[in-house]
Amino acid sequence: MRYKLELSYFGKDFHGWQTQPNAISVQQTIEDAIEVVFRERVGIVGCGRTDTGVHARKYIAHFDSDQCFDDSFVAKLNNYLPYSIAVHNIIHVNEDFHARFDAIKRSYEYQICLTKNPFLIDYSWFVYGGLNVEKMNVAAKKLLDYTDFTSFSKLHTDVKTNNCKLVEAFFSDQGGVLIFKISADRFLRNMVRAIVGTLVEVGKEKISLDDFVKIIEAKDRGAAGQSAPAEGLFLTDVIYPTDQPR
C-alpha cells in the first residue's frame, strides 16, 4: 500500500531533505523514526529537495508499506521525531501516486526583515538599508515572461532542462517583514534564493531593471547576484491534480 505524508520542518537542524552521507537530513530522520516505532524500514520519496537550512511549512512525501496505518500513526511518529519535524497527516493513496512527479505547482516564500528583529533571526534575512520594493516588484513580474532560468540555477546539476513555468512572483510588505512569494510547476536547485539575492540588488539600486532582464537572458549563473541566505526560505505549498476543484 502507498501512503502520502504531509509534514513540516525547521530547516536549521538539517542538511536539507535528502539523505546524504555524514549529515543529518529530514528524510533519513523520518525513515529512522518509522523503523524504530513501527519496526519496518521504508524508503520515503519526497516532493523535492530543499537545501541545508531551508524550512518547509508544507512538505509532501510518500512511502510503501504492507502495514495498515491509521490516524494513530501520526501521534506515534510525532512522539518519537524531534521537535523540528511535525507530521500532520497520513493518507492512503493510489499505488501510482508520486510525491515528486505528480506535483503540478509548488510555492515558496522568502522573508526579508527590514528592521532588526531577534525573534526572526532563524526565519529571515535582515537586509540593512532601504529597499525600493516597487522596483523589485516590477523586476519580479518580468520573470513571468521567461521559462529558462539557467541564470538562477546551481551549476552542474543533473536536470534535463532549466525551464520552469512561473505563475506568480511578487513582494508584499507585512509590517516590517517583506514577503516574496513565487509559484511554478517546478524549481531548479538554489533558484529561489538566487532570484531573491538578485532582486535585492535591484531594490538597493545596484542594478537596473534592464540589467535584471539581461541577467535572465544571459543564461549564466555568474551574471546573477549572490544567493540569499537559506534561513529566510520556506516551501509553503505543493499542489497535485487531485487537489484541484472539479
Strands 55-64 and 85-93, by their bridges, are: unpaired
Q: How many CB atoms lie within 10 A of CB 93?
A: 17
Of the candidates 118, 142, 114, 141, the residue with the CA atom closest to the CA atom of residue 128:
114
- Report yes or no: 99 and 91 within 8 Å, Cβ to Cβ: no
Tell me whether residue 51 is one of the annotated catalytic residues.
yes
Active site residue: 13, 32, 51, 70, which one? 51
Angle of the 72-80 helix axis to the 26-38 helix axis, nearest 10: 110
Q: Which three cell numbers stand for residue 133?
A: 520594493
Coil, helix or strand at residue 45: strand
Cβ atoms of residues 47 and 106 within 8 Å:
yes
Amino acid at 18: Q
Name the residues annotated as catalytic.
Answer: 51
